[in-house]
Amino acid sequence: MPASKKNIARSFRASIRGPGGFTLIELLVVLAVIALLMAILVPYLRASREEARKIKCVANLRSILQASGMYVDDQEGQQLYPWYQVPPHQGYRPSVVTPWVFGGFRAPKPERDSEFMDSALYPAQVRPLNKYVDPTAFAEPFDRKDRGRDIIKTYICPSDRTNSTTFIGDPGEPVEEWEPRTSWEANGSSFTLNTRWLQGYVGFDFSRVIHNPDRFSELSSRIARHIVGGNASQFILWAEQGFYGATYNAKPENHNKDAPPSIPQIEGWHQGFSSWSVGFADGHVSHGFFDTRGIYGLGGTIWQPAMRD
């Protein structure tokens, strides 16, 4: 072979061989192996990250339950929970009442464009539970642009990704919003008190409870008597807001296997079907599957923990 052709062949071989001595085929094989490893490892890494978020979410929920216990201890045995601000907090005049204002903070992006929603109006320092969660929380009461230390991270679940809830007295179904706005942005908390027990005592018409503080206090005292002792370990007191929204139409008959469910179950925040983080009246927290179609699930209830009296 002429010298010129030998030089051309040598140059071609050099052009397809990298500086480290790899051929193009060898390089492609290495890239394929890396891609395969990534395909195998990424789901595990994602699951590991979600597990860390779930642990943080459960820890925050446990802190809220502990604060609730301290609040109750300070009530001198009355066992009264301010499930809503009834009557409304002095000076704010909300026209929309929500279950968010026992704890939490002023919603940065309210679910409805209304300046009269209590969860958008009340700063953190006027909410009863917060002195047990973060007594340093503060924002100028009537200046909604002043965030101050209003946002309390204990009320935020790292996996909070949806906002689905209803307002008391609303007809119809929960509002589902699959947009970047999270529950803590729309409501001031990723977690909410379980107020579904009202359905079991007074039906689905909440208006006579909301506008009658004496009646509300009587009902609150009544349910409190049922969430002591063994019943406290079954009664769901706090839960992720997604769980709360999913139980909107929960009914006893939905546990009848022969009856069609009135509402479907949905995916939880932590990549598990109908899996939620919930806290019970005795102070323990659990994460797992809950049948949100019925009042009684596996290991928990959102309605009467004991027989109605």
What are the residue ranges spanned by the domains of the chain?
A: 45-301
Q: What angle do CA 65, 268, 110 make, to 5 degrees?
A: 70
Whether 12 shows a pLDDT value over 50: the answer reads no
Residue 185 burial (10 A CB sphere; 0-12, 13-18, 19+): middle
Whether 54 shows a pLDDT value over 90: the answer reads yes
Count of CB atoms within 10 A of residue 278's CB?
A: 25
Which letter does DSSP use for residue 172 in this model? S
Mean pLDDT for all residues in the chain: 77
pLDDT number for residue 153: 94
Whether 301 shows a pLDDT value over 90: the answer reads no
Please tell me which of 87-101, 146-160, 206-220 the model is most confident about, judged by mean pLDDT: 146-160
pLDDT number for residue 101: 87
pLDDT number for residue 58: 95
pTM of the model: 0.77
More confident position, 57 or 24: 57
Whether 8 shows a pLDDT value over 60: the answer reads no
Residues 6+ apart with CB under 8 A from 183: 157, 160, 162, 163, 164, 165, 189, 190, 240, 241, 242
pLDDT number for residue 251: 74
pLDDT number for residue 260: 52
More confident position, 168 or 263: 263
Whether 218 shows a pLDDT value over 60: the answer reads yes
Whether 56 shows a pLDDT value over 90: the answer reads yes
Whether 169 shows a pLDDT value over 50: the answer reads no
| Mean pLDDT on 39-53 | 75
Structure tokens at 67: 């604060």
For the stretch 115-153, pLDDT in tens is 678 888 899 998 989 999 999 998 888 887 787 788 999
Q: Are 154 and 60 in contact (CB under 8 A)?
A: yes
pLDDT number for residue 53: 92
More confident position, 129 or 90: 129
pLDDT number for residue 277: 94
pLDDT number for residue 83: 67
For the stretch 279-296, pLDDT in tens is 998 999 999 998 888 887
Q: How far, in Å, CA of 58 to CA of 268, rounded? A: 14
pLDDT number for residue 296: 76
Please tell me which of 90-99, 168-177, 261-270, 282-291 the model is most confident about, judged by mean pLDDT: 282-291
| Mean pLDDT on 79-101 | 75
- CA distance to 18, 44, 58, per residue, from 47 (Å): 37, 5, 16
Q: What angle do CA 162, 164, 170 make, to 5 degrees?
A: 160
